Amino acid sequence: MLMRRIYERLRPVAIELRAIYPSSVPPKGDAFDWVQMGGTQQELARELQLNPKHVLVDKSLSIVHLDEVEPKEIEWLWPGYLPQGMLVMLEGQKGVGKSWMTLQLAAMISNGDVNVPGTPTGSKGKGKVMLLCHEDPIDEIIVPRLKQMNADMSNVSILQSTIDLESGEEQWFDLSADITALEDELNSDDYKMLIIDPINNYINTSVDTYKDSQMRAVLSPLAAMAQRTGVCIIGIRHFKKSKEGSMLDWGVGSIAYGAVARTVHAIIRDPVSKYKERLLFPVETNIGVKPPPIAFEIVDDGLGASFEWLGTRDYTEEFLVASMKETSATKTKEWHDEKLEKLQTMLSDGMPHGFKATAQILGVSAITLLDYLYRSSYSPEEIDIHGEIPPLQWGIGDKSDKNGV
């Protein structure tokens, strides 16, 4: 501070000002320290020639010399799809199966069994998975699905909130304000994956998610934390309603999401299979060659639904986008009749079915499912969109007059 004040006094009268920072002087040392260490006037003059500073600075630059860096291979939880220690974005339309996919990934990591037909096997052993999610009930949705997927439940946990240590007040988790506490937790055990579903739920409302600079200020520290901890962080993001440009442009908000993430995957319905199957489609990767898309299905088993991998598919993005546009434009009465027929067959088994799971299996929106149910003789009082659909009270053979949209 003293040197800075001296500089400011001399600046109006001096022709040139320079500062010297001899490497042998301790931090915040001065000329007196130099003399005490045996420095001479001649050595000080040589130091000025070797390392002159034209301004008085209070910061230095951290520079990495690449000839001193040892190359390091990328480590994978799932080769080609889930890099360890990096940020991955998983994006898709609401209701297409993103949460199903993340729970399936969590189950595989919890067991150390990343084995998907047609893809390289992951081999990192069992690991802890943390879920940051509030959209689905823990006891009614998340835990039953994970158990059905044979997850090692001792390796899966859910971050519900932060707790102020002074007041004891429980607060909503904030990716900017609470990232240090999150990193401490991830370092405290053998965590291999963190799932944030959806990521925008945990970004402060003061942040404009459509502004690149503001979003990079949130996402870059998150990506840096992934690298420090070695944890694969998966952020979930919804698609926009409009599908202009490439799939990389379909996500809600700034392009920073895809730019900061090392890998971006989309979850979409397979238009070739008439939406009966879904795809995990690698949209972009900055760390290698894009792996092939993988098909999966949410299978109705009468009491609920289960996740099933179906193997890789040979689709390009251009082909899928064109097929999706064609399919979207041809949702005729026959298409709806087929969906309604499937729904009525499901509900005629005498068992209740979850509303949300049924909509996902059919590949329709909640509003469309409600329309199907009304046309199947359900009254509004019988339908709980957050719960179960009761069984149909009439048989398959009696439904011909109920059919049609």
In a domain, residue 307? The reply is: yes
Greater confidence (393 vs 211) lies with 211
Same domain, 316 and 341: no
Whole-number Cα distances in Å, 346 to 267, 304, 381, 387, 401: 25, 11, 20, 16, 18
* Cα angle 388, 308, 286; round to 5: 115
Q: Which of 300, 379, 295, 307 is nearest to 343 (CA)?
A: 300
Residue 42 vs residue 295, higher pLDDT = 295
By the 8 A CB rule, do 171 and 161 touch? yes
Classify the C-alpha dihedral 28-34-38-42 as positive or negative.
positive
Among 307, 299, 319, 292, smallest CA distance to 118 is for: 292
Q: Which amino acid is at 291?
A: P
- Other C-beta atoms closer than 10 Å to the C-beta of 259 total 16
Task: Report residue 402's pLDDT band, with 50, 70 and 90 as the boundaries.
Answer: very low
Pick the range with the lowest mean pLDDT from 93-97, 297-301, 336-340, 391-395.
Answer: 391-395
Q: Are residues 93 and 232 in the same domain?
A: yes
Q: Does 236 lie in the same domain as 339?
A: no
Q: Are residues 44 and 83 in the same domain?
A: no
The residue behind tokens 């399919």 is: 327
User: Among the three residues 325, 359, 383, which one is the final residue of a domain in this structure?
Assistant: 325
Same domain, 113 and 171: yes
* Same-domain check for residues 263 and 293: yes
Report the pLDDT averaged over residues 298-323.
82
Q: What is the pLDDT of residue 368?
A: 80
Same domain, 179 and 40: no
The answer to whether residue 65 sits within a structural domain is no
Q: How buried is 216 (Cβ within 10 angstroms: 0-12 exposed, 13-18 middle, 19+ buried)?
A: middle
Q: Are 219 and 257 in contact (CB under 8 A)?
A: yes
User: What's the N-to-C CA distance of the chain in angstroms?
Assistant: 78
Q: Are 132 and 265 in the same domain?
A: yes
Domain finish residue from 325, 354, 386:
325
Q: What is the pLDDT of residues 201-244, one digit of tens each?
A: 999 999 999 999 999 999 999 999 999 999 999 999 999 888 78
Among residues 261, 294, 325, which one ends one of the domains? Answer: 325
The per-residue pLDDT for range 35-70, each reduced to its tens digit, is: 788 877 777 777 777 766 655 555 677 899 999 889
Does the residue 196 lie in any domain?
yes
Task: Judge whether residue 307 has pLDDT over 50.
Answer: yes
Residue 61 lies in a domain: no
What average pLDDT does the segment 194-206 reach?
A: 94
Confidence band, pLDDT 50/70/90 cuts, at residue 281: very high
How is residue 250 written in tokens?
Answer: 């379909």
- Are residues 158 and 185 both part of a single domain? yes
| Whole-number Å distance between alpha carbons of 16 and 37 | 28
The whole-number pLDDT of residue 275 equals 60
Is residue 176 one of the residues assigned to a domain? yes
pLDDT at 274: 59
Is the Cβ–Cβ distance between 310 and 277 less than 8 Å? yes
Q: Give the percent of the chain with pLDDT over 70.
A: 88
- Position 51 scores a pLDDT of 67
Residue 262 confidence (pLDDT) above 90: yes
Count of beta carbons in the 10 Å neighbourhood of residue 327: 16
Supply the CATH number for residue 248's domain: 3.40.50.300
Same-domain pairing of 186 and 121: yes
Query: Is the confidence at residue 250, as pLDDT, over 80?
Result: yes
* Number of independent structural domains in the chain: 3
Q: Which residues span the domain enclosing 94?
A: 76-325
Least confident of 301-315, 338-352, 387-401: 387-401
Please tell me whether residues 94 and 193 are part of one structural domain: yes
What are the phi and psi torsion angles at 271 (to 5°)? -65, -25
Dihedral sign from CA coordinates of 209, 211, 212, 215:
negative
Residues 372 and 243 in one domain: no
Q: Give the position of tokens 């993103």.
A: 98
Helix (H, G, I), strand (E, B) or coil at 374: helix
pLDDT of amino acid 185: 95
Residue 392: pLDDT band (50, 70, 90) is: confident
Tell me how far apart the alpha carbons of residues 352 and 354 are, in angstroms, rounded to a whole number: 7
In a domain, 302, yes or no: yes
Each residue's pLDDT tens digit, 123-170: 678 999 999 998 888 988 899 999 999 999 999 999 999 998 888 899
For residue 69, being part of any structural domain is answered with: no
Which pLDDT band holds residue 14 (cuts at 50, 70, 90)?
confident
319 pLDDT more than 80 = yes
On average, the pLDDT of the chain sits at 85
Q: Is residue 185 part of a domain?
A: yes
Residues 6+ away with beta carbon under 8 Å from 335: none
Other Cβ atoms within 10 Å of 303 Cβ, number: 12
Report the share of the chain in percent with pLDDT over 90. Answer: 45
Q: What is the pLDDT of residues 90-104, one digit of tens each?
A: 999 888 889 999 999
